[in-house]
Amino acid sequence: MKSRSCMAVAGFVVTLAFLFPMYAFGAKDKVVIGHPACLSGKYAKAGEQAVGGIKACIDWVNNVHGGVTVDGKKVPLDYKYYDCESKKEGVTSFIERLITVNKVNVVFSAYSSGLTLAGAPVAERYGMVYMDHGGASDRIFQQGFKYIVQTIGPGSKYHEGTLDMIHHIDPKVKKVALAYEDSEFARMTMGGAEKHAKALGFEVVFKRTYPKGVTDLTPLLSDLKTKKPDIVIGGGHYEDGQLFTRQMSDLGIQVKALSLVASVTLPSYYEALGGRLAEGVMGPSHWEYGVTYSAAGAKKEGLDWIGPSQDEFVALFKKAVGKDMIPEYHAAEAGAQVLAYVKAVEMADSIGQDKVRAALGKLKFMSFYGGWDVDDTGMQIGHSMIDMQWQEDGKRVIVWPPEAATGKPIYPKPAF
Amino acid sequence: MGMTGYVDFGYVTFIALGAYGMSLGITYFYQVEGLGIWIVFIGFLLALLLASLSALLEAFIALRLRGAYFAIACIGINEGLRHFIEGAKLWGGSEGLIFSGSLIQAVGRETANQLTTFWADLAVFIIAALAAFLNIHYMRSKIGYALTAVKEDEDAAKVMGVNTTKYKTIAFLTSGLLGASVGAVAWGLKLGYVFPGDVFVIHYTVECIVVVLLGGAGTLLGPVVGGLIYGLSKYWLAIIWPGFQLLIFAPIIIIIIVLFPEGVVGMLKNRVRGTALERYLL
Amino acid sequence: MILELLGGNLAHGLLLGGVYGLATMGLSLIFGVINVVNVGHGQFIMVGAFVAQTMFTALGLSPLIAIPAAFVIGMALGFFFFYTVIRRLVEAPELTTLLATFAIGILLEEIAKLIFGADFRGYNWGLGKIELAITTIPLSKIYAFVGSIVIALFLYLWFSKTRLGTAVRAVIEDSEGARVCGVNVDWIYALSFAIGIGLTVMSGVLLTMFIPVGINPYMGGTYTLKAFVIAVLGGLSSPYGAFFAGLIFGLIENGAYVLFAQIPGVAPFSLTVSLAFWMLFFLLLLKPTGLLGK
């Protein structure tokens, strides 16, 4: 018994240690962004990207934009982040510390819907604007939180464009299989995809989920194979996407189109599959290197433009992470969020939380990341998804929507 | 470690069920008129109920299995339960329960804010104090001796007429109820959601064991000292070198274990054995 | 139709089970000889996976060459950790070593992250596949299975035919007795720990022959849990028991899915995983010595 109450005591002491009062001096001559980043643990990959993207855009704001204009004065942006280890305790305690000790002016969420939800009540309690660039679940915005604003698009829309595209190219194809990871986010995507597929007249011949962290998908894919689908859509996070593709090829499942969320758009996906297996596979994405959003395009749509051009962003990102690495959408959405915040502060001409939140609600603009606009609950509605496809020699081609496309889709996809 | 010598890897199961109890209470009762803030108490009761059931189950296993076998059986229950909830789509399945919105609807925004932060933290302190109190109480009472006997030699204890079944059950129930209380408050109320994949995580138990061992098992101050070492050093490392804290932390743990296999407090205790200080270190 | 699916899945399950079995032998050996539950088990598997991936992509060497290389690296790691950490803790309570191996696991993860980054990696051996009536099986899986069996057999022979192997078995049975009979128990401890880690790292290579993607510093945790379950099914301190338990586990993991998929309104994959753990639970209650135990 002692062992257990010992553990209880131990648990509290750890909690207490986190709550330990710690003092620092928050200078008021700068605007500070706080971020419980996921630098280790299961979301380390996305966390590294986000930190790089945020640093890149802060660099731009301070050195090109000249700082944030508040009360007619240009003030530099600063960035304070901790490593939450992809854990909910880390998120809540670090957000608390960022607000009370570091006196930050805005908090950015960690990664994933769960961790974003974990931080929301804390931000809400302190009346702090909480910007979400990593939690795609629609349900976050159905809880009545007042201070949360989303930059990443809602999960339910991920595969709609893919289905539109296939329907557009080959209206005769009917049989679609859905196989998603059993997680909050992927289920949201699956629900959206199923609804949209039925609306377009597809026949859903297979619909299953697989648990997070699974290391062998053979049973599920064998089952899928017997349903003989024409197209397969699914996925969830990173490793399962590689596994999914690899084992489809192992089982010799040949389809006309394969599209997986999250993993496909990463260069590591192509490398891990030795290139050939990745060819023709598609993935929806919020942003990809090569999209054609520009100041001129923004003008045409009557939207304000702010921030670096795509190439400038990439250069700043490389400088921020100190590696020759092309940013992925996690970096772009975190970076765009910095721009959204700057824009809102300048619009409100204040760093007061309620004023900034109100300004974010009204804000509508375009950056290298694309459009940005939120509805009343704070959910992102102004950003549209794109679809990318791996083509010959590891080329990443944006194939949908036509206005953002950099090339034609390969359809049907080459056999494994 | 501890008095019974049973390593309870299933401790996290209690915490997880506590979080589920709270979530279920709020999710299913928030629309009932006139309950208001009482839904939190209903949630708390559900948490205690679920945890008691699983504590009894573990106590039942503990009657049959010992040592590493018992530890692994507890891991089995934890993982089995998690995947069962996901597989059978019980309680929202893998989508979990998100109840922040429901709580706000039931008690109003201001009260909800107060509940999830101030009152939740306060409750954690109270439970901690209660745990410490029970710890001392058990250690100094007949139960403590009985449990120590179980640890030293269970069969001998039985032969000597110690009702091992009874004391083990008491031990598990206490720990289950404490765990569930923490879970209901810290993982349920405070966070406003529960996902099975997030709460049934064995890693947390391992962390607790690390804390207890760092400090020294079977001492009262042990967990406190261990918790301070573990929590503070990890926290500060995370602040000073974000992203590298674990790389530095792991060798430190290894060094501490190799140098003080009985934990920091255990080591101190040996030093001061026979002096007046010994009493205070228990 | 269902039978065909079941047959195909069982074939895959059997192949995977062989690799699982080998991946657990190291854990059982270490527990059997020095009574240490290696909580960092999965992280050693991760090391093996990186050995295979690096040798393939950077040096262009076949995973078959990575197998012995991984064993040597694993032995070296095993001796290193034994003499720096574990040796001082052999007499300490079970939990102390548990904590030590936990910390070693974290250390390995963080070092791997420092060297390789947090990316998910993989490699493509591209050996081709065999088409069967019921399913398609890639050749690399068959190599991995055959490799596991050969290694397990080799270990069996070493245990039963050599003096050293016999000494190890003697220590598993009764370490005090062995000491009295003149066995250098400390050396056996070190050697068994090193072999155990060697086997584990090696199984990491075989695992990538089965699943050559998703290799990353944090991949180990899942395998630690699976290995625990398998080790108990096999009777915890028996390496051969572990091997056969691995086979059974692989079969169940793949076979039960087909049956659960017939129930409407559930997520069969999660239920399958759940089943494995409940099975473990009941087995422990009914027959704690493992499926093959006395």
Q: Note the pLDDT of residue A27.
A: 41
Q: Is the peptide bond before A401 cis (omega within 30 degrees of 0)?
A: yes
Question: B121: which chain A residues are within 8 Å (Cβ-Cβ)?
Answer: 19
State how far the Cα of B33 lies from the Cα of B11, in Å rounded to an integer: 35
The pair phi, psi for residue C146, each rounded to 5°, is -60, -40
Looking at the predicted structure, is the pLDDT value of residue A323 above 70?
A: yes
For B32-41, write each residue's pLDDT tens digit: 766 777 777 8
User: Residues near C105 by Cβ (< 8 Å), separated by ≥ 6?
Assistant: C39, C40, C41, C42, C43, C220, C224
Mean pLDDT of A119-134: 88
Mean confidence (pLDDT) of chain A:
85
Looking at the predicted structure, is the pLDDT value of residue C24 above 70?
A: yes
For C227-254, write each residue's pLDDT tens digit: 888 888 887 778 888 888 899 888 888 8
Looking at the predicted structure, is the pLDDT value of residue B3 above 50?
A: no
Structural domain includes residue C139: yes
State how far the Cα of B83 lies from the Cα of B80, in Å rounded to an integer: 5
Tally of domains within chain A: 2
Q: Where does residue B114 rank: exposed (0-12), middle (13-18), buried (19+ CB within 10 A)?
A: middle
Looking at the predicted structure, is the pLDDT value of residue A4 above 50?
A: no
* Chain B nearest C-alpha distance from A27 (Å): 19
State how far the Cα of A9 lies from the Cα of B221, in Å rounded to an integer: 10
Structural domain includes residue C236: no
Structural domain includes residue A316: yes
Domain that holds residue A47: 25-153+292-373
Q: Note the pLDDT of residue C201.
A: 95
Q: Of A313-327, C18-32, C46-60, C271-285, which gets the smallest average pLDDT?
A: C271-285
Pairing assessment for the beta strands A148-150 and A175-181 based on DSSP bridges: unpaired
Q: Where does residue C180 rank: exposed (0-12), middle (13-18), buried (19+ CB within 10 A)?
A: exposed
Looking at the predicted structure, is the pLDDT value of residue C146 above 70?
A: yes
Q: Collapsing DSSP states into helix, strand and coil, what is residue A396? A: strand
Mean pLDDT of A6-23: 48
What element of type H or E holds B197?
A: helix B196-199
Looking at the predicted structure, is the pLDDT value of residue C144 above 60?
A: yes
Mean pLDDT of C59-73: 91
Mean pLDDT of B86-114: 76
The pair phi, psi for residue B220, each rounded to 5°, is -75, -40
* Chain C nearest C-alpha distance from B203 (Å): 9
Question: C112: which chain B residues are within 8 Å (Cβ-Cβ)?
Answer: none
What is the 3-state composition of chain A as percent helix, strand, coil, each rounded to the nearest 5?
Answer: 45, 20, 35
* CA-based nearest residue to B17, from B230, B181, B146: B181
How sure is the predictor about B4, in pLDDT bands with cuts at 50, 70 and 90? very low
Structural domain includes residue A5: no
Structural domain includes residue A268: yes
Task: Give, in order, the Cα–Cα distances in Å from B96 to each of A183, A214, B10, B193, C248.
Answer: 9, 19, 20, 7, 32
For A205-224, write each residue's pLDDT tens digit: 999 888 877 888 888 898 89
Alpha-carbon A97 to chain mean position: 25
Q: Residues 19-48, chain C: which have Cβ within 8 Å of B? A: 31, 37, 39
A234 and A361 in a single domain? The answer is no
Residue, of C19 and A22, whose pLDDT is higher: C19
| Nearest CB partner across the interface for A1, out of B171, B205, B239 | B171
| Nearest CB partner across the interface for C254, out of A214, A218, A243 | A218
Q: Note the pLDDT of residue A1.
A: 37
Output DSSP code: residue B115.
I
Match 């005769």 to its residue by tokens. A172
The tokens for A330 are 């996690």
Q: Is the peptide bond before B196 cis (omega within 30 degrees of 0)?
A: no
Question: A143: which chain B residues are within 8 Å (Cβ-Cβ)?
Answer: 98, 100-101, 104, 192
State how far the Cα of B224 lies from the Cα of B211, in Å rounded to an integer: 8
Looking at the predicted structure, is the pLDDT value of residue C116 above 60?
A: yes
Residue type, C29: L
How sure is the predictor about B264, in pLDDT bands with cuts at 50, 70 and 90? low
Q: Note the pLDDT of residue B108.
A: 75
A224 and A191 in a single domain? The answer is yes
Looking at the predicted structure, is the pLDDT value of residue B271 above 70?
A: no
Residue, of B278 and C100, whose pLDDT is higher: C100
**Could you tell me if B197 lies within 8 Å of chain A, comparing CB atoms?**
yes
Alpha-carbon A412 to chain mean position: 28
A281 and A391 in a single domain? The answer is yes
Mean pLDDT of B144-158: 68
**Could you tell me if B94 lies within 8 Å of chain C, comparing CB atoms?**
yes
For A42, nearest residue in chain C (alpha carbons): C218
State how far the Cα of C214 lies from the Cα of A247, in Å rounded to an integer: 12
Half-sphere exposure of A176 (CA within 13 A, CB side): 31
Domain that holds residue C203: 19-220
**Could you tell me if C142 lies within 8 Å of chain B, comparing CB atoms?**
no
pTM (predicted TM-score): 0.79
**Could you tell me if B57 lies within 8 Å of chain C, comparing CB atoms?**
no
State the CATH number of the domain containing residue A245.
3.40.50.2300
Question: B244: which chain C residues are within 8 Å (Cβ-Cβ)?
Answer: 110
Enter the ipTM.
0.84
**Could you tell me if B87 lies within 8 Å of chain C, comparing CB atoms?**
yes
| Nearest CB partner across the interface for C118, out of A44, A211, A275 | A44
A264 and A351 in a single domain? The answer is no
State how far the Cα of B51 lies from the Cα of B57, in Å rounded to an integer: 10
| Nearest CB partner across the interface for B69, out of C260, C267, C288 | C288
A213 and A133 in a single domain? The answer is no
State how far the Cα of C126 lies from the Cα of A277, in Å rounded to an integer: 10
State how far the Cα of C93 lies from the Cα of C35, in Å rounded to an integer: 10
Sign of CA dihedral A183, B80, B182, C100: negative
Structural domain includes residue A19: no
Q: What is the DSSP string of C204-256?
A: HHHHHHHS-S-B-TT-HHHHHHHHHHHHHHTTSS-HHHHHHHHHHHHHHHHHH
Q: Note the pLDDT of residue A19.
A: 46
Question: B202: which chain C residues are within 8 Å (Cβ-Cβ)?
Answer: 225
A180 and A41 in a single domain? The answer is no
How sure is the predictor about C150, in pLDDT bands with cuts at 50, 70 and 90? very high
A148 and A191 in a single domain? The answer is no
State how far the Cα of B180 lies from the Cα of A377, in Å rounded to an integer: 33
* Chain B nearest C-alpha distance from C278 (Å): 6
Q: Residues 131-160, chain B: which have Cβ within 8 Å of A? A: 131-132, 134-135, 138-139, 143-144, 147
Q: Note the pLDDT of residue B2.
A: 39
* Chain A nearest C-alpha distance from C111 (Å): 12
A79 and A223 in a single domain? The answer is no
Cβ distance of B87 and C269 shorter than 8 Å: yes
State how far the Cα of C135 lies from the Cα of C85, in Å rounded to an integer: 47
Q: Of A109-123, B259-273, C196-210, which gets the smallest average pLDDT?
A: B259-273
Query: Of all residues in chain A, what percent carry a pLDDT higher than 90?
Result: 23
Structural domain includes residue C252: no
Structural domain includes residue C47: yes
Q: Note the pLDDT of residue B218.
A: 59
A183 and A299 in a single domain? The answer is no
A394 and A260 in a single domain? The answer is yes
Residue, of C119 and C203, whose pLDDT is higher: C203
Number of other residues whose CB lies within 10 A of the CB of residue B145: 16
Mean pLDDT of A368-383: 86
Tally of domains within chain C: 1
Looking at the predicted structure, is the pLDDT value of residue C204 above 90?
A: yes
Cβ distance of B61 and C260 shorter than 8 Å: no
Q: What is the largest CA-CA distance in chain B?
A: 63
A vs B: CB pairs below 8 A: 209
